[in-house]
């Protein structure tokens, strides 16, 4: 037994080292050396697998463009890898060096603490890097859960070294949170597409974070040998079921990183996203389960109790669903959505005989998440108000589904998720005008009714309803596509006709300009022959021999009006006349002149040409022909512009080169994009961009039945967007938009009425 006066080598939590002291500094240097050596090996090993992963992805790419993105990423990684590695290791070393100084000067740790998960998320979302944010937050949440025991020990021992200040997972300089942020900082050295960066983050998770066990074991071993809390127990309670969700191990030797990346099952992916959301909810509540009910208090409701209580509420909602729905119900529904947790606890109290004050963390997160999803639906301007009211009735069935299957929020192909996405997609194009027969409204309502009435605990109902909705949509789409095609063809035909008319008018006007022609000749050229030119352009094209022959006739016809005073001029005119007559007879017949009308017109021309040739023709007949303006013209013949000025006024005006956000947005619009048009507060129409004219550049819009709603020149559409009479609807799936909004909302400072804080 040791003498009481003998100094002890054991350092307890009550003994606090000054990190600037000789011993504290030595221990810190040991930790830095261990971390630097192990992390250098891990980061180097990770980059050895990046080439394989990107090459495998390039080989499986869906198109050449995607393939080039991966090859470009490979080249960029090879070039910048040393800088990324150096930056990462240098940042880790700085974090370890700065940590003690920050804590020493930070009054209780405020000055040096690393941003908590929620704050990290906020900064990332503010930079519009949500995908990167989710990847990092998922890695942090998953690995902090997996490494609970090892991290707890490192936290406690570092707390002794750093003067007794409490160290959390998020502020540990070698914890997953700080290491992930250091790697994110280092990734700024890499100019690569986000899809490439996300793969590298996944590999960082696989090859670096997944191997932190050994790093923590070595650090703990080193500190135990130095006498820092050698008897520390590793037992630590974690809330909910988070500790059950461990990270998968690194791939076995010979397996490429990409194969491991692609082979990761959906259960693991689901766990990552759920861990991310739980971490955000936890940060929102102020950390972990600190406020949960102490052991020995009233038992929290089980999943079966929640499902039973929800089934009762669902039955009540099914009865209410039979009542008429109006847009004014939206406010009432919004209140119901926010109060569902309270109603649920009250219903459990009725079933139990005593009302619980709260539910488990994971169930509370699920309730809040579903609540936020349906709050989003009621605020989603992508959906018409009537459709918001209909879909919001599904909150209880979807909460039941989420409790029965926690993967609902992580799997894009989950039947319940696909059904809600498909319902929202169908509802997006709905309007009273386009659904006069109520087919779409009644189909969506019937699906909502059946979920409320029939869904108990059999999740296959979502798949069955998905198939049914898809069949309905396919039939509606085929019917609409036929109408849409007719509208586009009709519009295309009108534009071709207008373009042909302007070309024909220019050709005729350019030829008769400067000539004083008899009314008969002028009338034939400007009306009958101009229409023949239009017909020839439409049938044979502007470069065809037929069009060139028609223009040659116009030249000859005008030349035939020149005085023929000499013998040679009269001989030349006689040689032209048979060809003029043949061309004119054929051309007039093509533009719907009757044979008798052609004969009468040619008889008038014969009289005119006999006079031109100097033959004896009664003066009265010559005068009648020269002054004749009454051509036997069919109704289908349209007059052309009388002058170049009039023609210029009829030409489409060139689009103003406006570099405005609206014009840039319009340039990016693709057929299939939906817009909402508001002509007045009572007339709202939703229409899909069906076709962009290659000739005029006009945008043609149709409703969900394929019928024309409007067509706009680009600058007209830009004016409508600027003036608020048009709005582009989001093409992203409802669930994806909702998840983005929820993550962004959870990342903001908590408010009094936030579901996560109630």
Is the Cβ–Cβ distance between 686 and 675 less than 8 Å? yes
Q: pLDDT tens digits for 692-750?
A: 998 888 999 999 999 998 899 898 898 899 888 999 999 889 998 998 888 888 877 65
Residue 219: inside a domain: yes
Question: Rounded to whole angstroms, how far apart are CA atoms 161 and 154?
Answer: 11
* Secondary structure of residue 156 in the 3-state scheme: helix
User: Which residue is associated with the tokens 């296959």?
Assistant: 460
First to last CA, the chain: 56
Residue 532: inside a domain: yes
Which two structure tokens, joined as six digits, stand for 751?
């408010």
In this predicted structure, what is the pLDDT of residue 264?
Answer: 43
Residue 75: inside a domain: yes
501 and 571 within one domain: yes
Domain hosting residue 589, numbered range: 492-650
Q: pLDDT tens digits for 288-345?
A: 444 454 444 567 788 888 888 888 888 887 776 654 444 445 566 667 777 888 888 8
Q: Which residue has the higher pLDDT, 708 or 615?
A: 708
Q: Which residue has the higher pLDDT, 207 or 146?
A: 207
Selection from 3-12, 438-447, 484-493, 518-527 with the highest mean pLDDT? 438-447
In this predicted structure, what is the pLDDT of residue 303?
Answer: 81
392 and 501 within one domain: no
30 and 168 within one domain: yes
Residue 174: inside a domain: yes
Percent of the chain with pLDDT over 90: 30
CA dihedral 76, 78, 82, 87 (to 10 degrees): 30
Count other C-beta atoms under 10 Å from residue 624's C-beta: 14
Q: Is 278 exposed, middle or buried (0-12, 13-18, 19+ CB in 10 A)?
A: buried
For 200, 432, 609, 709, the CA distances from 484, given in Å and listed in that order, are: 45, 19, 53, 11
644 and 687 within one domain: no
694 and 576 within one domain: no
669 and 635 within one domain: no
Question: Rounded to whole angstroms, how far apart are CA atoms 749 and 455?
Answer: 37
Domain termination residue (choose one: 209, 232, 248): 248
In this predicted structure, what is the pLDDT of residue 274?
Answer: 62
Q: What is the largest CA-CA distance in the chain?
A: 154
Is the Cβ–Cβ distance between 365 and 268 less than 8 Å? no
556 and 640 within one domain: yes
Question: Rounded to whole angstroms, how far apart are CA atoms 47 and 85?
Answer: 9
518 and 541 within one domain: yes
Residue 259: inside a domain: no
In this predicted structure, what is the pLDDT of residue 119?
Answer: 38
Domain termination residue (choose one: 608, 626, 650): 650
Please determine, for residue 754, whether its predicted confidence score (pLDDT) is greater than 70. Answer: no
In this predicted structure, what is the pLDDT of residue 443?
Answer: 95
Please determine, for residue 96, whether its predicted confidence score (pLDDT) is greater than 90. Answer: no
State the total domains in the chain.
Answer: 4
Question: Rounded to whole angstroms, how far apart are CA atoms 126 and 149?
Answer: 34
Q: What is the pLDDT averaged over residues 459-475?
A: 93
In this predicted structure, what is the pLDDT of residue 1?
Answer: 43
| Res. 212 pLDDT band, cuts 50 70 90 | very high
Q: What is the mean pLDDT of the chain?
A: 79
Residue 439: inside a domain: yes
Question: Rounded to whole angstroms, how far apart are CA atoms 407 and 272?
Answer: 10
| Res. 612 pLDDT band, cuts 50 70 90 | confident
Q: What is the pLDDT averaged over residues 61-90?
A: 88
User: Which residue is associated with the tokens 């962009």?
Assistant: 692
pTM of the model: 0.57
Percent of the chain with pLDDT over 70: 76
Which two structure tokens, joined as six digits, stand for 1?
């037994």
| Res. 267 pLDDT band, cuts 50 70 90 | very low
Q: What is the pLDDT averaged over residues 159-164?
A: 75
Question: Rounded to whole angstroms, how far apart are CA atoms 557 and 577?
Answer: 9
Is the Cβ–Cβ distance between 254 and 125 less than 8 Å? no
Q: Is 404 exposed, middle or buried (0-12, 13-18, 19+ CB in 10 A)?
A: middle
Question: Rounded to whole angstroms, how far apart are CA atoms 561 and 573?
Answer: 9
Domain termination residue (choose one: 216, 248, 280): 248
328 and 179 within one domain: no
User: Which residue is associated with the tokens 């309730």?
Assistant: 367
Residue 139: inside a domain: yes
Residue 307: inside a domain: yes
In this predicted structure, what is the pLDDT of residue 327?
Answer: 47
Please determine, for residue 183, whether its predicted confidence score (pLDDT) is greater than 90. Answer: yes
Please determine, for residue 148, whether its predicted confidence score (pLDDT) is greater than 90. Answer: no
Of 30-39, 182-191, 267-276, which range is least confident?
A: 267-276
Question: Rounded to whole angstroms, how far apart are CA atoms 353 and 331?
Answer: 32
674 and 606 within one domain: no
Please determine, for residue 105, whether its predicted confidence score (pLDDT) is greater than 50. Answer: no
671 and 646 within one domain: no
Please determine, for residue 2, whether its predicted confidence score (pLDDT) is greater than 90. Answer: no
Is the Cβ–Cβ distance between 508 and 554 less than 8 Å? yes
| Res. 422 pLDDT band, cuts 50 70 90 | very high
In this predicted structure, what is the pLDDT of residue 251?
Answer: 39
Please determine, for residue 448, whether its predicted confidence score (pLDDT) is greater than 60. Answer: yes
Q: What is the pLDDT averaged over residues 199-212?
A: 92
Q: Supply the CATH number for residue 678's domain.
A: 2.30.30.30
Of 453, 451, 476, whose CA–CA distance to 463 is shortest? 451
For 237, 291, 303, 353, 356, the CA distances from 298, given in Å and listed in that order, are: 19, 15, 16, 12, 7
Is the Cβ–Cβ distance between 283 and 117 less than 8 Å? yes
241 and 313 within one domain: no
């Amino acid at each position: 037994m040791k003498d009481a006066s003998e100094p002890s080598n054991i350092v307890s939590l009550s003994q606090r080292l000054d990190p600037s002291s000789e011993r504290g500094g030595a221990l810190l240097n040991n930790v830095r050396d261990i971390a630097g050596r192990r992390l250098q090996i891990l980061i180097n090993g990770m980059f050895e697998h990046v080439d394989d992963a990107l090459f495998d992805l390039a080989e499986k790419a869906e198109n050449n463009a995607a393939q080039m993105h991966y090859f470009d990423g490979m080249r960029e990684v090879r070039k910048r890898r040393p800088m990324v590695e150096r930056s990462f290791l240098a940042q880790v070393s700085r974090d370890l060096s700065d940590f003690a100084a920050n804590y020493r000067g930070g009054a209780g740790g405020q000055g040096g603490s690393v941003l908590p998960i929620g704050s990290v998320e906020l900064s990332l979302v503010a930079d519009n890097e949500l995908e990167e944010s989710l990847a990092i937050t998922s890695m942090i949440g998953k690995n902090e859960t997996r490494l609970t025991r090892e991290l707890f020990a490192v936290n406690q021992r570092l707390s002794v070294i750093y003067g007794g200040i409490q160290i959390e997972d998020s502020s540990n300089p070698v914890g997953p949170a700080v290491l992930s942020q250091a790697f994110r900082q280092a990734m700024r050295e890499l100019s690569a597409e986000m899809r490439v960066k996300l793969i590298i983050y996944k590999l960082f998770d696989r090859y670096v974070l997944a191997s932190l066990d050994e790093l923590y074991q070595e650090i703990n071993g080193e500190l135990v040998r130095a006498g820092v809390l050698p008897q520390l127990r590793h037992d630590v309670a974690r809330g909910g079921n988070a500790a059950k969700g461990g990270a998968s191990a690194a791939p076995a030797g010979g397996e490429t990183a990409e194969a491991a990346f692609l082979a990761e099952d959906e259960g693991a992916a689901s766990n990552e996203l759920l861990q991310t959301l739980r971490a955000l909810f936890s940060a929102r509540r102020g950390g972990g389960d600190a406020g949960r009910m102490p052991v020995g208090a009233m038992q929290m409701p089980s999943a079966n109790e929640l499902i039973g209580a929800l089934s009762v509420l669902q039955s009540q909602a099914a009865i209410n669903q039979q009542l008429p729905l109006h847009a004014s119900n939206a406010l009432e529904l919004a209140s119901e959505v926010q109060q569902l947790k309270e109603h649920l606890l009250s219903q459990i109290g009725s079933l139990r005989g005593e009302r619980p004050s709260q539910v488990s963390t994971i169930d509370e997160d699920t309730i809040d998440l579903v609540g936020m999803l349906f709050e989003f639906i009621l605020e989603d301007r992508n959906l018409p108000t009537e459709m918001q009211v209909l879909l919001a009735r599904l909150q209880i069935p979807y909460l039941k589904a989420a409790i029965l299957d926690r993967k609902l929020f992580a799997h894009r192909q989950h039947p319940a998720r696909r059904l809600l996405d498909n319902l929202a997609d169908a509802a997006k194009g709905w309007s009273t005008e386009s659904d006069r027969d109520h087919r779409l409204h009644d189909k969506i309502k019937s699906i909502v009714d059946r979920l409320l009435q029939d869904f108990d605990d059999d999740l296959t109902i979502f798949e069955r309803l998905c198939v049914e909705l898809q069949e309905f949509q396919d039939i509606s789409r085929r019917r609409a596509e036929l109408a849409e095609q007719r509208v586009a063809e009709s519009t295309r035909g009108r534009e071709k006709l207008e373009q042909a008319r302007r070309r024909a008018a220019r050709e005729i006007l350019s030829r008769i300009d400067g000539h004083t022609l008899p009314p008969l000749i002028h009338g034939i050229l400007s009306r009958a022959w101009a229409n023949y030119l239009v017909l020839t352009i439409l049938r044979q094209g502007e470069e065809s021999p037929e069009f060139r022959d028609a223009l040659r006739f116009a030249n000859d016809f005008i030349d035939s009006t020149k005085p023929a005073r000499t013998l040679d001029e009269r001989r030349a005119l006689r040689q032209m006349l048979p060809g003029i007559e043949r061309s004119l007879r054929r051309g007039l017949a093509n533009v719907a002149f009757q044979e008798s009308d052609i004969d009468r017109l040619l008889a008038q021309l014969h009289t005119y040409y006999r006079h031109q040739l100097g033959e004896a023709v009664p003066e009265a007949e010559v005068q009648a022909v020269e002054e004749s303006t009454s051509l036997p013209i069919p109704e289908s013949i349209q007059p052309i512009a009388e002058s170049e000025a009039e023609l210029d006024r009829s030409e489409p005006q060139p689009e103003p080169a406006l570099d405005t956000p609206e014009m840039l947005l319009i340039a990016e619009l693709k057929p299939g994009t939906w817009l909402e048009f508001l002509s007045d507060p009572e007339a709202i129409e939703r229409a899909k961009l069906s076709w962009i004219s290659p000739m005029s550049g006009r945008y043609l819009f149709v409703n969900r039945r394929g019928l024309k709603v409007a067509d706009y020149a680009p600058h007209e559409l830009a004016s409508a967007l600027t003036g608020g009479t048009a709005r582009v609807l989001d093409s992203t799936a409802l669930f994806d938009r909702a998840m983005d909004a929820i993550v962004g909302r959870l990342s903001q400072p908590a408010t009094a009425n936030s579901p996560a804080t109630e």
